[in-house]
């Protein structure tokens, strides 16, 4: 019976080696924040030790969204397990699919046609923009800029419309499949994406106009939670949170996957490592994503979108009526799945939050023996106590927003 756990109470005894001595004598105050709190971006819980309004220690308590996805994946075949990856980091669903499919492809050594790779890049970058839009909306909302929230969600709808166009679903697309894509994109895809590319850069200008020089916003973000490059690396931070500290590390550049090496783009770097730098970086990243999508659209190759390797990829539906062999392959793949060779692979991709890695271990059967996700928010959140120390409680919401956590990504 689940309800009998008393999770809300934390005794001082449990955390006495995490708080300062003054908390034990009662000189400082222990305050609970979350899991029901509008600016913890989900169900994050923080225990704060406060001296007046200054944070002395901050102890995150996570797991309120622990879904057991890693366990559930062990009970599904490689094709079925992909559905669960969408639900993990729900702002980066396409990126999760991509990481998972790349891992499966590496495990079974599957080829992916060039057209599929280009479409994967387009969708992943669109998803990156959508994710950054949600981040911008919530970060601005936390700092009391309501209108940015409304604008960001307006633009996000356009991206979701494109996803719906290609896959029939707004968020949980599962469009990228091991060996390619589910199907080719419809004809309207090109105009939809070009339309979006046409007017989105002006919208970024608009967000910047609302925030970048806004004194209320700048006062609350500049000089807050400064992280040096060495500290960020030491704590294993990745993504914009790391690049905000001036460390040049982007997996799309250093370890290109899915044909990122063909595209020309910059990796924006921050100067100060504070909340404002991380904000500027994400805004710049949206612009770079536009560049990447533009290039990918311009040289979008034609051809098949699924590998011809019938041992792992189901045949097209049109062949089922005429070819006995295709029917057998289809039946085998959807009833038993495919056997992967024994071994373990790890594939990292660059999610909007940092390095998202999928570790798959196979025992030779049709189901992953162990699936583990190295999620960026988990690593970034771990640095939060270090970042929050010495700041005011009011700044904490800006700091949480700036590392762009998604609780589904942390708790899995």
| Region 79-98 residues binding other proteins, contact defined as CB under 8 A | 83-84, 87, 90-91
Among 2, 215, 303, 321, contact with other proteins (rule: CB under 8 A): 2
CB of 170 to other proteins, least distance (A): 6
User: Angle 188-211/114-142 helices, nearest 10 degrees?
Assistant: 30
CB nearer to other proteins: give 80 or 295.
80
E-strand spans in 162-209? 176-177, 180-181
CB nearer to other proteins: give 66 or 311.
66
Part in contact with other proteins (CB under 8 A); list of ranges 25-33, 64-72, 314-322, 394-402 = 64-72
Part in contact with other proteins (CB under 8 A); list of ranges 187-195, 219-227, 299-307, 344-352 = 344-352
125 vs 35: CA distance, rounded Å: 31
**If we measure between CA atoms, which residue out of 88, 87, 121, 84 comes closest to residue 102?**
121
272 vs 222: CA distance, rounded Å: 9
CB 341 within 8 A of CB 106: no
* Four-CA torsion 150, 153, 158, 161, nearest 10 degrees: -130
CB nearer to other proteins: give 92 or 305.
92
Among 27, 53, 111, 157, contact with other proteins (rule: CB under 8 A): 157
CB nearer to other proteins: give 102 or 119.
102
Q: Which of residues 97-156 bind other proteins (CB under 8 A)?
A: 106-107, 109, 134, 137, 149-151, 153-154, 156
CB of 302 to other proteins, least distance (A): 30
CB nearer to other proteins: give 61 or 184.
61
Judged by CB under 8 A, how many residues of this single chain contact other proteins?
78
Among 20, 32, 54, 72, contact with other proteins (rule: CB under 8 A): 72
223 vs 276: CA distance, rounded Å: 8
Among 20, 29, 37, 259, contact with other proteins (rule: CB under 8 A): 37
153 vs 151: CA distance, rounded Å: 5
Q: Does residue 42 touch other proteins according to CB under 8 A? A: yes
**If we measure between CA atoms, which residue out of 140, 177, 192 comes closest to residue 306?**
177
Q: Which of residues 233-252 bind other proteins (CB under 8 A)?
A: 233-236, 249
Local structure of 372: helix, strand or coil = strand
CB of 212 to other proteins, least distance (A): 22
Q: Does residue 191 touch other proteins according to CB under 8 A? A: no
341 preceded by a cis bond (ω within 30 of 0): no
CB of 71 to other proteins, least distance (A): 5
Would you say the C-alpha torsion 304, 92, 244, 357 has a positive or negative sign? negative
Q: Does residue 217 touch other proteins according to CB under 8 A? A: no
If one counts every other C-beta atom within 10 angstroms of the C-beta of residue 29, the result is 14
Q: Does residue 166 touch other proteins according to CB under 8 A? A: no
CB of 398 to other proteins, least distance (A): 17
| Structure tokens, 346 | 């790890």
CB nearer to other proteins: give 88 or 119.
88
Q: Which of residues 255-314 bind other proteins (CB under 8 A)?
A: 255
Q: Does residue 344 touch other proteins according to CB under 8 A? A: yes
265 vs 236: CA distance, rounded Å: 24
Q: How far apart are the first and last CA of the chain?
A: 22
Part in contact with other proteins (CB under 8 A); list of ranges 14-22, 180-188, 277-285, 305-313 = 14-22
CB of 316 to other proteins, least distance (A): 27
Part in contact with other proteins (CB under 8 A); list of ranges 186-194, 209-217, 308-316, 341-349 = 341-349
For 50, the enclosing helix (H) or strand (E) is strand 45-51
Q: Does residue 363 touch other proteins according to CB under 8 A? A: yes
**If we measure between CA atoms, which residue out of 58, 56, 38, 35 comes closest to residue 47?**
58
CA angle, 405 then 97 then 406, to 5°:
10
Q: Which of residues 364-383 bind other proteins (CB under 8 A)?
A: 369-370, 372, 374, 378-379, 382-383
CB 371 within 8 A of CB 74: yes
Q: Does residue 411 touch other proteins according to CB under 8 A? A: yes
DSSP letter assigned to residue 177: E
Q: Does residue 345 touch other proteins according to CB under 8 A? A: yes
Local structure of 34: helix, strand or coil = coil
Strands 180-181, 343-351: pairing kind: unpaired
Q: Does residue 317 touch other proteins according to CB under 8 A? A: no
């Amino acid at each position: 019976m689940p309800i009998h756990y008393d999770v809300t109470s934390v005794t001082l005894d449990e955390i006495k080696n995490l708080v300062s001595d003054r908390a034990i004598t009662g000189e400082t105050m222990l305050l609970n924040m979350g899991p029901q709190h509008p600016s913890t971006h989900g169900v994050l819980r923080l225990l704060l030790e406060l001296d007046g309004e200054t944070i002395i220690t901050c102890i995150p308590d996570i797991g309120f969204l622990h879904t057991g996805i890693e366990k559930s994946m062990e009970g599904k075949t490689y094709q079925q397990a992909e559905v669960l990856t969408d639900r993990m980091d729900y702002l980066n669903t396409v990126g999760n699919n991509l990481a998972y499919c790349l891992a499966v492809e590496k495990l079974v050594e599957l080829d992916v046609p060039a057209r599929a790779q280009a479409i994967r890049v387009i969708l992943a970058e669109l998803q990156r923009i959508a994710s950054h839009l949600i981040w911008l909306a919530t970060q601005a909302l936390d700092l009391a800029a309501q209108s940015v929230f409304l604008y960001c969600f307006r633009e996000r709808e356009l991206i979701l419309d494109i996803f719906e166009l290609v896959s029939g679903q707004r968020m949980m697309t599962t469009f990228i499949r091991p060996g390619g894509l589910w199907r080719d994109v419809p004809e309207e895809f090109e105009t939809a994406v070009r339309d979006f590319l046409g007017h989105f850069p002006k919208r970024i200008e608009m967000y910047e106009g609302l925030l970048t020089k806004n004194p209320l916003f700048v006062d609350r973000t500049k000089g807050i939670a400064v992280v040096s490059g060495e500290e960020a690396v030491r704590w294993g931070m990745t993504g914009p949170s790391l690049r905000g500290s001036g460390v040049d590390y982007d997996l799309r550049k250093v370890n290109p996957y899915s044909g990122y090496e063909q595209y020309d783009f910059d990796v924006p770097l921050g100067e100060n490592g504070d909340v404002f730098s991380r904000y500027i970086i994400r805004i710049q990243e949206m612009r770079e994503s536009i560049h990447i999508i533009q290039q990918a659209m311009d040289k979008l190759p034609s051809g098949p979108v699924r590998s011809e390797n019938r041992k792992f990829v189901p045949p097209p539906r049109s062949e089922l009526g005429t070819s006995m062999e295709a029917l057998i392959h289809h039946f085998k793949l959807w009833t038993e799945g495919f056997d992967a060779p024994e071994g373990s692979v790890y594939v990292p991709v660059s999610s909007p939050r940092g390095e998202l890695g999928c570790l798959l271990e196979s025992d030779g059967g049709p189901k992953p023996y162990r699936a583990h996700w190295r999620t960026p928010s988990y690593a970034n959140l771990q640095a939060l106590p270090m970042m929050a120390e010495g700041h005011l409680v009011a700044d904490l919401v800006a700091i949480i927003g700036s590392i762009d956590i998604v609780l589904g990504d942390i708790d899995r």
